Amino acid sequence: MNGLEVIWEGPFDWPLTKEQRARLPDFAGVYLWTVPYVHGGYIVYLAGITRRPLYRRFGEHARNHQNGIYTLFDMDEMRRGNRKEIWHGFWTKERTLAKQQEFDLRREELQHAAYVQMSTFQIFAARFDTDPRLLARLEATIMRHLYAQPKPLSAIPDRGMMLSPRRSSEQLIFVKNIALSVLHGLPSHMSI
């Protein structure tokens, strides 16, 4: 079995401004969207991967937030470990005419909520300039660990992501996660 150390850099602000984009590491890899937890550390909301620089990927994420694609939350509740939706995004639900009209009517409110959400999220990132399968396996394993956590941590992550875990034909890789901050839901060791 191979071993891999994953070093999580951060936290970084969501790159909404040029200054914030400059602080986000300019590399490809795996990233975590987290929120500061009222009991200390950070709650991991989700893991993602990118083969492009992080600031570019987060520019796409910002547009999706502002356009109602992603689900929006009451961030004060999320800091407490509660998943309370303000808007269930188009990503996981059919984009019906009625749903689009609701978004159009609530656009100002929802775009403000999107701004608050992005401003609250803190990003952690690990550098990987490597095989896309390794990235996908790492993302899938992190999400599965989040789903398996006791509540409230397991209630926070989105379900229904397109994940690609290790195939039976692939060699098992032992991962050690290293972070200076407490990342609730992220195990210190895992196999991908």
Q: What percentage of the chain exceeds 70 in pLDDT? A: 97
Model confidence pLDDT, tens digit, residues 92-115? 667 889 999 999 999 999 999 999
Q: Are 151 and 142 contacting, i.e. CB atoms less than 8 angstroms apart? A: no
| pLDDT at 65 exceeding the cut of 90 | yes
The amino acid that residue 51 corresponds to is R
Write the CB contacts of 100 (distance below 8 Å, at least 6 apart in sequence).
none
Look at residue 9 in the predicted model and tell me its pLDDT. Answer: 95
How far apart CA 71 and CA 89 sit, in angstroms, is 4
Q: Where are the domains of the chain?
A: 2-191
- The upper half-sphere exposure of residue 181, i.e. CA atoms within 13 Å in the direction of its Cβ, equals 23
Q: What is the pLDDT of residues 24-47, one digit of tens each?
A: 888 889 999 999 999 999 999 999
Higher-scoring residue by pLDDT: 111, 91: 111
Q: What is the pTM of this model?
A: 0.92
Q: Does an H or E element contain 33, and which?
A: strand 29-36
| Rounded Cα gap, residues 165 and 145, in angstroms | 12
Q: What is the pLDDT of residues 119-167, one digit of tens each?
A: 999 999 999 876 889 999 999 999 999 999 999 999 999 888 888 889 9
Q: How do residues 11-23 score in pLDDT, each as one tens digit?
A: 999 988 888 877 8
| Residue 1 pLDDT exceeds 80 | no
Q: In this predicted model, what pLDDT tens digit does every residue of 160-188 receive, in sequence order?
A: 888 888 999 999 999 999 999 999 999 99
Answer with the residue of higher pLDDT: 128 or 53: 53
Q: What's the CA gap between 61 and 81, in Å, rounded?
A: 22
